[in-house]
Amino acid sequence: MNPRWQLTERDLDIVEAVVAHQFLTVNEVQPLFFSVETGYKAAARRLKALSDAGLVARHYTPTFDASPAVYCPTQKGVQLLLAHQRLHPDEIDWRGKHNRITAASVQHELAVNRLVVALMRALAERYALWRCEAHPHRSGGKRLTRRVDMARLGQMLSVERGSHLWDRVKNPSQKGRRVPAFLPVRPDRLLLVKSDSDRVSGNNRESYANAHHKTFFLEIEIAPKQCDRLRRRFRAYREYYRSGGFLRRYGHGDDVRAYPFVVLVTAPTDERRNNLIELAILEACRKMVWFATYDEVLADPLGAVWIRGEAYDAAFSTLSETQYSQLYRTHRRVERDRFVSAHVERHGLLER
C-alpha cells in the first residue's frame, strides 16, 4: 500500500456501502461516491487502494465475458466502521462465509444492487442531495468535486437486506401431499421511503408507522422461474398482509390496513412481465404487486414504468371476447404485449 495513502470520509462511506450491500463493483460505487468529472478510473483506483489496505476484499466471478472485480466486506472493514461509530454491533449481519456463494448468486445480488444504486442516484438528483468536497490535486492545489450526500439520502431512503427480513406464513391452500404447510417470505430487499429523519434499524421497529410512509419489497427475476413457484410467492405476500404477519413484525396495534406495502417485481422482458401480472391477478394481488422490466427501472427508477394488476385488468376488461382471443392467438402473445404497451396505464414509484 502507498505510504502516503490516507483514509478519508469518502472511504468510510464506501466501506459502509460495501458492508451494507455485500457485493459491489466499480459500476455501483462510482455513481454514489464520485463525480462525473472524476469518473470510473478514479473509483477503480480508490477501490483498489481500499482492497490493498484490507478494508474490502476483491474477487472475480467466473463468467464468459470480461466482468469487473467484485468487492465484498472484510472483518477489518467491519471493525473500522465500529471504531468510527458507523455501525452498531447489533446491525452486523455479515460473516466471512457470506462472501463464498455461487457465481449465479453473485450476479443476482449485483443486479439487485445495481437497481438500488440507480434509485439512490435518482433520488439524489431529484432532491439535490449533493455534497461538495475538496480533494488534493496532482498540481498541488485543491479540486472541488460533487457526490451524493449519503447522510441526507439516508434520511429519505433506507435499504435493508439479509436474513432478518425472512419470514413465513401459513399456506391457505394445503390440498395435496406435496403442498407446503408454510410459504416463505424472502424479499431481495426492503425499501423504506421515510417521511421524517428518524431511522428505523433492523432490530428496532416500534416507530415504523410514524417513520415511514412508503414500504416496498423488491423482487428481481433474472432467470425465469416455474409458474407454480411464482404463484406461491405472490400468495405468500398476500397472506403476509391479510394474516397480519407484516403488522406483527413491523408495527403495533391490530389494524392491518394501517401497514400497507407494495411488492416491486422486475422481469427481464415485456412478455415475462405480462405473464407475471396475469399470475398475480389469479392470486388476487391486483393492487399490492407492481411490475416492470428490469431495463426500464434501471433507466428511469422514478419514472412511470410500473404496471399495477388493477390497471392491467381494467384495460383488458374493455375488450370484447373476439378482440381478447385475437391477442392470445399466438404462443408468444406478441399482440398482447403490444396492446399492453399501448393501452395499460403506468405509474411512478412514489405515486400512490
If you average pLDDT over residues 2-19, what whole number do you get?
Answer: 84
Number of domains the chain is built from: 2
116, 194: one domain: no
N-term to C-term CA, the chain: 51
- Other C-beta atoms closer than 10 Å to the C-beta of 64 total 5
More confident residue, 204 or 72: 72
Side-by-side strand order, sheet with 189-194: 157-160, 189-194, 212-220, 262-267, 289-293, 307-308
If you average pLDDT over residues 274-301, what whole number do you get?
Answer: 94
Domain for residue 216, yes or no?
A: yes
Return the amino acid letter for 128: A
Domain for residue 274, yes or no?
A: yes
In whole angstroms, give the CA distance from residue 285 to residue 127: 32
218, 135: one domain: no
19, 111: one domain: yes
234, 87: one domain: no
Instruction: Name the domain boundary from 148, 178, 206.
Output: 148
Domain for residue 153, yes or no?
A: no
Q: Which domain holds residue 65?
A: 9-148
pLDDT of 254 over the 50 cut: yes
More confident residue, 272 or 209: 272
If you average pLDDT over residues 26-38, what whole number do you get?
Answer: 85
Residue 78, all three cell numbers? 467491519
Domain for residue 277, yes or no?
A: yes
In the prediction, which pLDDT does 135 show?
Answer: 65
In whole angstroms, give the CA distance from residue 185 to residue 217: 10
Instruction: Name the domain boundary from 82, 117, 148.
Output: 148
If you average pLDDT over residues 205-210, what whole number do you get?
Answer: 43
pLDDT in tens, 58-69: 987 665 456 688
111, 191: one domain: no
Helix, strand, coil percentages in the chain from 3-state DSSP, rounded to 5: 45, 20, 35
If you average pLDDT over residues 39-66, what whole number do you get?
Answer: 84
Instruction: Name the domain boundary from 111, 126, 148.
Output: 148
- Other C-beta atoms closer than 10 Å to the C-beta of 276 total 26
Residue 108, all three cell numbers? 443476482
Return the amino acid letter for 59: H
In the prediction, which pLDDT does 202 show?
Answer: 43
In whole angstroms, give the CA distance from residue 339 to residue 319: 11
DSSP 178-210: TS-SEEEE--SEEEEEESSS----TT--TTHHH
Domain for residue 157, yes or no?
A: no
**Mean pLDDT for the chain?**
84
Helix (H, G, I), strand (E, B) or coil at 318: coil
248, 209: one domain: yes
Domain for residue 207, yes or no?
A: yes
Q: Which of 130, 213, 202, 223 is nearest to 159 (CA)?
A: 202
Using 50, 70 and 90 to split pLDDT, how confident is the model at 4?
Answer: low
Residue 27 backbone dihedrals phi, psi, to 5 degrees: -65, -25
Domain for residue 186, yes or no?
A: yes
189, 243: one domain: yes
In the prediction, which pLDDT does 209 show?
Answer: 42
In the prediction, which pLDDT does 228 show?
Answer: 81
In the prediction, which pLDDT does 131 show?
Answer: 85
Domain for residue 120, yes or no?
A: yes
173, 112: one domain: no
In the prediction, which pLDDT does 163 show?
Answer: 84
75, 222: one domain: no
- % of the chain residues with pLDDT over 70: 84
Taking the model in full, what pTM does it have?
0.88
If you average pLDDT over residues 267-294, what whole number do you get?
Answer: 94
242, 273: one domain: yes
In the prediction, which pLDDT does 100 show?
Answer: 73
β-strands 289-293, 262-267 pairing: parallel
pLDDT in tens, 226-251: 778 888 899 999 999 999 999 888 87
177, 240: one domain: yes
Return the amino acid letter for 92: I
112, 189: one domain: no
Residue 10, all three cell numbers? 469518502
Q: What is the CATH number of the domain that holds 14?
A: 1.10.10.10
Using 50, 70 and 90 to split pLDDT, how confident is the model at 173?
Answer: confident
- % of the chain residues with pLDDT over 90: 52
Contact assessment for residue 18 and residue 81, using Cβ atoms and an 8 Å cutoff: no
